[in-house]
Amino acid sequence: RTVYVNGDYLPEEDAKVSVFDRSFLMADGVYEVTSVLGGKLIDFDGHLARLERSLGELDMQKPEAFDDLLEIHRELVRRNDLEDGMIYLQVSRGSAGDRDFIFPDPKEVKPTLVLFTQSKPGLADSPAAKTGIKVISIEDIRWGRRDIKTVQLLYPSMGKMMAIKAGCDDAWLVEDGFVTEGTSNNAYIVKDGKIITRQLSNDILHGITRAAVLRFAREAQMEVEERSFTLDEAKAADEAFITSASQFVMPVVEIDGVTLGDGAPGKVAPRLREIYLDESLKNAI
């Protein structure tokens, strides 16, 4: 596999970053994951725009190659013969050659830019989409700027492990009784045909898939309500689902052991998945 590191395309065993890199020492880095279907990038512009916003919120410089990112993504797809899968991109504040809480002078330290591909043959026909997934709920103890896509992913990773240990697939994070989002996805419920998902704020990541799915839902005359919902409301919902760049729209059929509906994906989530995949493929670049 070929990996991109600061301007170079390298065999993965030669792709290296300094031990002083601030993403390694302080989780001082941001990332994006873009899906590839049929060799084309899904929602690329949205991911690029969010990357720019994450960098700005953290006062991090744009990497020199920022304007070439589309070309770099395409080059990695080509070099790795990527048909279906993901491209992972990470920018860190760079390596100052020392460990220091003070940000290095941006005139002296350049950001680190790394991209690599992950192949997932048949990504769009995931068997889980047909059966739906099971989630547990856990307390949301993450920091208060979840709108910034940082590489500080220890708690979401622990949450996913708690779910696996409980025989489930993922965890929904709950704060003051309200669902914020999933460990790596946005969360939705459906009640009486209405799609309900938490409003945008610093409490959740502004999902690129979320934005597209809500737009398609409204275009299809489906009713959408952006507001907080409680865990109890979710357990009493007709349907639930999650969205993310790598899972698209994925039905949720069980929350904390409580079965939703008849335990199979309902009508809304599978329909939204189909619309999302159709439209995104049409617009893929």
- What residues are annotated to the active site? 149
Interface with ligand PMP, residue 244, by CB under 6 A = yes
- Helix axis angle, 268-283 to 208-219, nearest 10°: 110
- 195 dihedral zone (left: phi>0; alpha: psi -120 to 50; beta): beta
Report how far residue 6's alpha carbon sits from residue 111's, in angstroms, rounded to the nearest whole number: 9
Query: Of residues 107-136, which lie at the interface with ligand PMP (CB under 6 A)?
Result: none
Q: Candidates 54-62, 94-102, 180-188, 189-197: pick the segment binding ligand PMP (CB under 6 A).
A: 180-188
Residue 153 CB, nearest approach to ligand PMP (Å) = 8
- CA-CA-CA-CA torsion for 119, 120, 121, 126, nearest 10 degrees? -170
Which one, 95 or 185, has the nearer CB to ligand PMP? 185
Q: How far is the CB of 107 from ligand PMP (least distance, A)?
A: 32
Minimum distance, C-beta of residue 251 to ligand PMP, in the bound complex (Å): 16
| CB-nearer residue toward ligand PMP: 163 or 208 | 208
Residue 86 lies near ligand PMP (rule: CB under 6 A): no
Query: In angstroms, what is the minimal distance from the CB of 49 to ligand PMP?
Result: 11
What is the Cα–Cα distance from 85 to 33, expressed in whole angstroms?
Answer: 10
Nearer CB in complex with ligand PMP: 104/159: 159
Q: Does residue 184 belong to the site contacting ligand PMP (CB under 6 A)?
A: yes
Does residue 244 contact residue 208 with C-beta atoms inside 8 Å? no
Q: Which stretch binds ligand PMP (CB under 6 A): 127-135, 183-191, 214-222, 275-283?
A: 183-191
**Residue 243 in the binding site for ligand PMP (CB under 6 A):** yes
Handedness of CA 161, 167, 168, 171 (dihedral sign): negative
Residue 185 interacts with ligand PMP (CB under 6 A)? yes
| Near ligand PMP in 187-226, by CB under 6 A | 205, 207-210
CB 94 within 8 A of CB 112: yes
User: Applying CB under 6 A, which residues contact ligand PMP?
Assistant: 33, 181, 184-186, 205, 207-210, 243-245
